[in-house]
Amino acid sequence: MSDSEESDEEGGLGNLNRLIVRPPGHSGKAKRGHLCFDAAFECGNLGRADHITELEYDLYVRPDTSRPRARFWFNFTVENVKQDQKVIFNIVNFGKEYTLYDTDMTPLVRSTSRQKWQRIPKRFLFYHKSLVHRGRKILSLAFGFDREEDVYQFAAAAPYSYSRLQKYLATWEKRAQSFATRKTIAQTTQKRQVDLITIGDLNAKEHENKDENITKLKSNETKKRVILILARSHGGEPPSSFICQGFLDYIVSSAENASALKDNIVIQMVPMLNPDGVFLGNQRSDLLGSDFNRCWHRATTFAHPQLIAVKEHIRKITAEKTLQLDFIIDIHADISHEGVFVRGNSYDDVYRFERHAVLPKFLAMRVEAWQSENCLYNADATLVGSARRALPTAAVDAYTLTVSLGGRRLNPRGPYIHYTEDACILFQI
């Protein structure tokens, strides 16, 4: 059921690997209905499963490697089920209590005979404080297995793996070879490649003119404008990858605006900054426990080669006289808020701040379910290592563009609309 070709038994460190959970006192060959849990595949996460009663199981999210407090993402399979078997799964160790499970978000499920992800109905979900679990909030979901030959997969959101990205880019670059390039700018600790996509020509074209002074003037006027997009700093935020795929699909389409973008600006994208964390099924960190959106200001070649590569790339762009880097947009997903919003920087100079607020105002007019009340502009010292704080220089504007992991409402009293793979892919900046 995984979309990876390199997944079998190679998932995150500490994940369950085809563990059959038997009732107490039972030994010997597993019977039908003794559930088999597995998360040893790409993007998988489940660290422990305890049999509580014939009906109930306590499940534990595996913490990020070298970062024990990061616990939210889960993605696991269940097999060896019995026809019409009913269960209650309690996910008991989330690292954050206030999440969208407090409102209307629900997990996803699919099976081998029904490959399309489906939301578990809200009426089968209970997010509550449990006295048995020392007053912690736990997620309890009731589920009935209706086909005993199927393998069922449960996830916090639709996964988007490193393998899926590589397959997609291999196909996409053939369609875009006339106007785009793809190159590897770094290798991760586990030797996975970090791609940089360039859409457009970085070489400024000078207008031919016999008058030398006019030629110089034209050269200045045709300074190439550049936008840099970063995504998937955190493994547990797959919507950011779906958004990148949607944008890349749009840019190779025949849409008039897509042609205008290609002709007038250069768009550069790092679609997966943390492929190790994605592969391992981590929520925020990479293999070594680094949160990439908190360590840009202290990145090292050994621990954060991709961050160093991006910073060096930005330095080269800003040093080039024929290029002008306008925006850096770092795409994330959020487990506590609905809709789409930005986090930006604050400036003492009111004119500088007004210019910084132009892009969010434009997005507010264009993006469905824009949440202006969730937009923040600050200079918080605790966020000094984030991309939006550490990367911009001089007149460059940097933002964190955030989309909900769950869904949105088109108006405050409207129905809750879950995001799907297609909905995120169709999201266009």
Kindly list the distances between the CA atom of residue 276 and the CA atoms of 163, 233, 234, 285, 312, in Å, as whole numbers in the listed order: 11, 10, 10, 9, 21
Kindly list the distances between the CA atom of residue 64 and the CA atoms of 18, 135, 284, 286, in Å, as whole numbers in the listed order: 20, 23, 7, 8
Task: List the strands of the sheet with 193-199, edge to edge.
Answer: 180-187, 193-199, 265-270, 224-231, 323-334, 397-404, 340-345, 376-378
Given this model, what pLDDT does residue 3 score?
Answer: 60
Nearest Cα residue to 402 out of 374, 373, 362? 374
Given this model, what pLDDT does residue 417 score?
Answer: 93
Tokens of 144: 């009935």
Given this model, what pLDDT does residue 408 score?
Answer: 92
Given this model, what pLDDT does residue 10 score?
Answer: 55
**Neighbouring C-beta atoms of residue 184, cutoff 10 Å:** 11
Measured in residues, the chain has a length of 429
Task: Tell me which H or E stretch contains 326.
Answer: strand 323-334
Kindly list the distances between the CA atom of residue 213 and the CA atoms of 155, 206, 235, 359, in Å, as whole numbers in the listed order: 62, 12, 52, 34
Give the pLDDT of the chain (429 residues) as one tens digit per residue.
Answer: 656 544 445 556 799 999 999 999 888 899 999 999 999 999 999 999 999 999 999 999 999 999 999 999 999 999 999 999 999 999 999 999 999 999 999 999 999 999 999 999 999 999 999 999 999 999 999 999 999 999 999 999 999 999 999 999 999 999 999 999 999 999 999 999 999 999 998 885 544 444 555 444 444 457 899 999 999 999 999 999 999 999 999 999 999 999 999 999 999 999 999 999 999 999 999 999 999 999 999 999 999 999 999 999 999 999 999 999 999 999 999 999 999 999 999 999 999 999 999 999 999 999 988 999 999 999 988 999 999 999 998 899 999 999 999 999 988 888 999 998 887 766 654
Given this model, what pLDDT does residue 18 score?
Answer: 96
Q: Which domains are delineated in the chain? A: 19-155 (2.60.40.3120), 162-425 (3.40.630.10)
